[in-house]
Structure 1
Amino acid sequence: MSVWFSERDIILGQPFMREIDKGLAKTRIGLVLITPALLRRIENGGVSEKELSELLSRDLLIPVAHGVTYEEIRSVSPLLGSRNGLSTGEDSMEDIAKKIAELIAL
């Protein structure tokens, strides 16, 4: 499997969401790590609901909550919070990795 990581693979000065969209277009499964920093970015207009909607239109985009609850996510973005995903508060990183590996193997 190959991994595309937005912070490493996006050249400085490039439109963030456009580059993420290009990366997702080439993927079978996408993971979004939802952290307190991402939620603040959404709240402050750094990521719009339109951009989130486009990302979430992918069938296999899996949110992974880290340091936040799905209740907190839903309060900031009902679109993102309504997606079935994983949480480091409920599962160990090892269990999350196993679940993702099982999905990739399908």
Structure 2
Amino acid sequence: MANFNASQFNAQVRAAQRRAEQQFKREVDRVNRANKKAVDDHNRKAEAHNRRVIADYNRQVDAHNRKADAHNRRVIDDLHRQLSAGRSTTVRYTEPERRLADRVHDAVAQVDPKEYDTFLSYARIDGSEVAAELRAALEDLGVAVWFDHVSIQAGKSQSLQMDQGLRKARSGIALLTPAYLAGRFWTERELGALLGKSTLIPVLHNVTFKDVQEYSGILPDLAGFTTATDSVNDIARKIAAAVTVDN
């Protein structure tokens, strides 16, 4: 019987272990590559799907924005056509309306005890945003502003509250926009009352002094401001100095 060679046996064992380890490593690498490929394929499909969803959403948003822009352009173009045609070139505040306003003033004089430095008149269709910004800037400067969104109380007559605000305010601000100059009952009524104030400040937004001159022969003679050259905050500071000088 041949003698047992321990060294040779150990060498064979180590060689077998190395082969097993190499085979195991190759199998692990193969599985990792397969998993990575599966993950990459999934990610590519997910990214492609997300791109399609985002592109479709963006197309819908673009289509909506185009429709909204087209609608807004039609509204503004119509307002400019009305201005160009010289419609509503004078403020229409009839004598019966004046008499009615006087009776209303007497009837509701004590409803709102608050005093106002100024009444802010504007057209909602295209002046709401800048009017709200101007009102906020003025109130930050300590100016008490009659502003319909804040001053009008729900459940009470809007016209009565507006007429009271017109009477109680010591001055007026007319935010002149294309819609304002095109003529709306409420703005014409407000302007008719504000023209009787000792201080009325025009603020032009998206209109020119020439547009204002075609609308009214009185307003262009009043010292005013335009958002084309001054920021709303700068305009507010200048107005505050004018309407609170005696306070």
TM over 0.5: yes
2:229 corresponds in structure 1 to 90
Deviation at 1:87, TM superposition (A): 1.0
1:24 aligned to which of 166, 170, 177? 166
1:66 aligned to which of 185, 205, 218? 205
> Given the two structures, how large is their TM-score scaled by the length of structure 1?
0.71
What's the RMSD between the two structures over aligned residues? 2.7
1:4 corresponds in structure 2 to 146
2:218 aligned to which of 79, 84, 94? 79
Question: C-alpha deviations, 1:2-56, integer Å up to 9, x for none?
Answer: 22113554468744xx65442121112221111111111x2xx636978644321
- When you count strand as a share of all residues, which structure comes out higher? 1
1:99 aligns with 2:238: yes
1:33 corresponds in structure 2 to 175
SS in 2 for 1:64: strand
- Structure 2 counterpart of 1:97, one-letter code: A
Q: 1:87 to 1:98 in 2, by over 3 A?
A: same
SS in 2 for 1:58: coil
Deviation at 1:89, TM superposition (A): 1.3
Q: Which has the larger radius of gyration?
A: 2
How many angstroms apart in 1 are the aligned matches of 2:191 and 2:161? 14
Check whether the contact 2:172–2:194 (CA below 8 A) recurs between aligned residues. no
SS in 2 for 1:31: strand
SS in 1 for 2:219: helix
Question: C-alpha deviations, 1:33-90, integer Å up to 9, x for none?
Answer: 11111111x2xx6369786443212111211111111110111222333322111112
How many angstroms apart in 1 are the aligned matches of 2:148 and 2:219? 18
Q: 1:47 to 1:25 in 2, by over 3 A?
A: closer
- When you count helix as a share of all residues, which structure comes out higher? 2
How many angstroms apart in 2 are the aligned matches of 1:47 and 1:97? 24
How many angstroms apart in 2 are the aligned matches of 1:88 and 1:55? 21
Check whether the contact 2:205–2:226 (CA below 8 A) recurs between aligned residues. yes
1:46 aligns with 2:185: yes
